[in-house]
Structure formats: C-alpha cells, structure tokens
C-alpha cells in the first residue's frame, strides 16, 4: 500500500491511511497470534490488543462475539479489517457489526479485506462495505413486507441515489423517486386514504419500472433489483383508478389483506366496515360517496329487523352483509374507543376476531359480480 515504507501487517497499513483522522487501532488476538505477533506489531504501530479464544467450540464463538461488541464504544465510527480472520471469525465479525449498529449506534465506515499475491510487489484491499449494505437492504425490505415499515428502505434508496453522484460512472435517476412514491403509498395505507392508496400504487409501479434501469447499470446495486421485484409483487394488486369499479373493489380487498398481513388491525377493521357500506351502495345502485349515510341507515335498520324476527325475505348475500355489518361495527367501536367501554376484548382475541371478520368481508367481495348495479369499466 505504501511502496516507500512497506509493512507485512494490514493493521499498520490501514492505520497509516487513517491515522491523521484520529482513528484508534484495536486488534483481536488469539493466544497463538499474540505469541507470534504481539511484540513485532507493537514495534511498528500503537494498538490495543483484544484477547479472544481460538473459536473451537460454540462457547468460544460467543466469547469472540462478546469481545468484539465490548471493545467498541457507543456511537463509534468503525473500520473493520477481516483479512486475518479464519474459520467462522469473519462471519462473527459481520454479525457483531450489525448488532453494534443497532445496540450501540455504531456507524460503519468500511469493512475491508486485504489480499496479497506473491507474484506482485504489494498487496491491496477489497472494500466489502457494500455487502453489509446489501444485508441492510434485505432487512429493510423485510421490514416493509412483513410489518409495513418502509422508513429504512426509503432512506437506503435515497442514499444509493445520492452516492451514485459522488462517484464516477452511471448515475441513478429514479431510485430516490421510488422512495418518495413508497412514502405516498404507505402514508395512504396508514391513514386509510383508499383512492389515494390505489392511485399511489399505480404511480409507484411506474417508478419501480424506471428504477430497474438504474439498478441494471449500477453494479453495486444490482442485487437491489430482486428486492424491487418483491416490492412490485406487493403493490401491483393495489393499483387501480376507480375505487368503486370491479378492479377497484378487488384492489380494496387486496388492501385489506395487506393491512392484515402487516398487523394493522385498526386500519383493517375500519376499511372492512367501509367496504360493507360500499357493497350496499353498489347493490342498491346508490352513489358510493354521496349516499353512504343512506347505506349505513339501511344496514342499521336491517340489523334491528333481524333481531326482532327471522329475515327470510332477504337473500343469503344480503343476510351475510347484515351479519357482517353487526360484527364489524362492534369490533371497529372496540378499537376506535381504545377499550374504554364495558367488557372490551383482550388484544389477542380482538386481533383474531378482526382477522376472521375481515377475511369474511374479502370473501364477500370476491362474489361482488353477482351484485346488481355493479359499474363496469
């Protein structure tokens, strides 16, 4: 790395590269490595040894992990050299880095691997930092898919976009736009802006298609293409123009499914209630926006009649609507009033009841083509 002042130690080479910036060198050392290199390395560079076992047992592996974590102070910026790790040590180091980022707020500046070819006069370093970023992308995408939490993914997309303009080569043009479009969809889902969620999903799909061109020409970001593909799978079923068309009702059913998947039960039961009102409007040929109050009054009246006598005059689908309306209204009230009423359901039981009722509403939606007055596209 420094032809005029060569060194056999990657640790010394790295410290020379970064010493003006005030970095502190810590070196993990097994007993064997300490006997062989401790004094020789100390003659060349100032460092702090961190004793670790050889890692021949699971208990020793955990001791190595804990030694790494304990040696890094809170909020530190970290450059990790994994050149001399052997067996499982590099994997442990990577696991420790991820743990440190969360638990101690550590910021990873670089993860480096030094290599030397005997036929060449000097060694060099591979920068492995982007493979850690790939793990972050993966976890961020999982957060989105499983929990509906897209904040970290949106932040990473913007970072990749910005980073491409700090280096030579192709520039990202649409990755930041994906993050912005994702914001709109998830905000609309959280706040139950139905029409906005469906139209924003359409917009996001367009940005994802354009972003695939960015990913294809940015080698370090190519794996992100697979993750963007998962996002397309997630949001494609939500894309629709008219919420009250057959396509729009299907999209709302998928929206309901997504809210359940991500355990947003309060939003799910609220949407289920509104879908029942929409179905009555469609069935009765009422305007699904202007005459929602009429539909609610119709449902409430039918509930009262059903309690007084058997409503054999109603068809089976109308009876299911009425029954689900009664269940949905009760569950939605339990959620909306924060259990501030007599005999509120426990959280686990309430969540299960919401799932059951919402799935019944989705099943009813799938039969919507039998409802008279359905608007066709």
Domains of the chain: 10-127 (3.40.50), 130-239 (no CATH), 242-367 (1.20.120)
Are 22 and 13 within 8 A, CB to CB?
Answer: no
- Read off the tokens for 345: 């359901």
- Read off the tokens for 86: 């052997």
- Rounded to whole angstroms, how far apart are CA atoms 135 and 98? 9
Q: How would you write 125-183 as a 3-class SS string?
A: EEECHHHHHHHHHHHHHHHHHHHCCCHHHHHHHHHHHHHHCCCCCCCCCCHHHHHHHHH
Q: Determine whether 236 is exposed, middle or buried from the number of CB atoms within 10 Å of its CB (0-12, 13-18, 19+).
A: middle
In order, the DSSP letters of 334-364 are: HHHTTT-SSSPPPHHHHHHHHHHHHHHHHHH
pLDDT for 243: 94
- Rounded to whole angstroms, how far apart are CA atoms 234 and 304? 40
pLDDT for 279: 92
What string of pLDDT tens digits covers the 377 residues of the chain?
444 567 777 777 777 777 666 788 888 888 888 888 888 888 888 888 999 888 888 898 899 889 999 999 999 999 888 877 666 677 788 888 889 998 999 998 888 877 666 666 666 777 777 777 777 878 888 888 787 777 787 777 777 777 667 766 667 777 778 888 988 999 999 999 999 999 999 999 999 988 887 777 766 666 677 778 888 999 999 999 999 999 999 999 999 999 999 999 999 999 999 999 999 998 889 999 999 999 999 999 988 887 776 555 566 667 888 899 999 999 999 999 888 888 888 999 999 999 999 999 999 988 754 444 444 33
Helix (H) or strand (E) holding 111: strand 107-115
- Within the chain, residue ranges assigned H as helices are 10-18, 31-44, 58-71, 89-103, 129-147, 151-164, 175-190, 194-217, 224-235, 246-261, 265-284, 292-308, 316-336, 347-366
HSE (CB half, 13 Å, CA atoms) of 54? 5
pLDDT for 125: 75
- Read off the tokens for 232: 């397309």
Distance in angstroms between the alpha carbons of the first and the last residue of the chain? 67
DSSP character for 28? E
| Closest residue by Cα to residue 114 from 8, 35, 24, 217 | 8
In this structure, the strands spanning 26-29 and 48-51 are parallel
In this structure, the strands spanning 107-115 and 77-81 are parallel
């Amino acid at each position: 790395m420094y032809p005029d002042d060569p060194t056999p130690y990657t640790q010394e080479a790295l410290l020379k590269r970064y010493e003006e910036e005030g970095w502190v060198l810590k070196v993990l050392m097994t007993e064997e490595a300490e006997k062989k290199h401790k004094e020789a390395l100390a003659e060349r560079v100032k460092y702090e040894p961190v004793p670790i076992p050889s890692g021949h047992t699971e208990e020793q592996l955990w001791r190595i992990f804990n030694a790494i974590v304990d040696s890094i102070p809170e909020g530190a910026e970290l450059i990790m050299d994994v050149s001399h790790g052997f067996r499982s040590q590099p994997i442990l180091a990577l696991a420790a880095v991820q743990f440190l980022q969360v638990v101690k707020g550590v910021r990873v500046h670089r993860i480096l691997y030094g290599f030397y070819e005997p036929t060449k006069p000097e060694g060099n370093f591979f920068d492995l930092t982007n493979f850690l970023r790939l793990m972050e992308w993966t976890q961020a995408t999982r957060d989105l898919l499983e929990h509906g939490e897209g904040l970290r993914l949106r932040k990473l997309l913007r970072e990749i976009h910005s980073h491409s303009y700090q280096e030579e080569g192709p520039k990202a043009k649409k990755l930041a736009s994906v993050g912005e479009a994702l914001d709109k969809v998830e905000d609309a889902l959280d706040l139950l802006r139905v029409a906005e969620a469906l139209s924003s999903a359409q917009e996001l799909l367009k940005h994802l298609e354009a972003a695939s061109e960015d990913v294809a020409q940015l080698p370090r970001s190519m794996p992100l293409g697979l993750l963007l593909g998962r996002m397309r799978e997630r949001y494609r079923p939500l894309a629709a123009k008219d919420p009250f068309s057959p396509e729009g009702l299907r999209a709302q059913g998928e929206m309901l499914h997504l809210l359940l998947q991500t355990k947003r039960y309060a939003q799910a039961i609220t949407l289920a209630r509104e879908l029942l009102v929409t179905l009555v409007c469609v069935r009765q040929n009422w305007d699904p926006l202007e005459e929602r109050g009429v539909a609610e009054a119709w449902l409430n009246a039918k509930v009262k009649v059903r309690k007084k006598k058997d409503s054999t005059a109603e068809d089976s689908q109308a009876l299911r609507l009425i029954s689900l309306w009664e269940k949905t209204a009760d569950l939605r009230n339990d959620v909306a009033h924060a259990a501030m009423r007599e005999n509120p359901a426990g959280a686990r039981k309430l969540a299960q009841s919401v799932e059951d009722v919402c799935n019944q509403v989705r099943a009813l939606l799938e039969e919507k083509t039998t409802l008279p007055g359905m608007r066709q596209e």
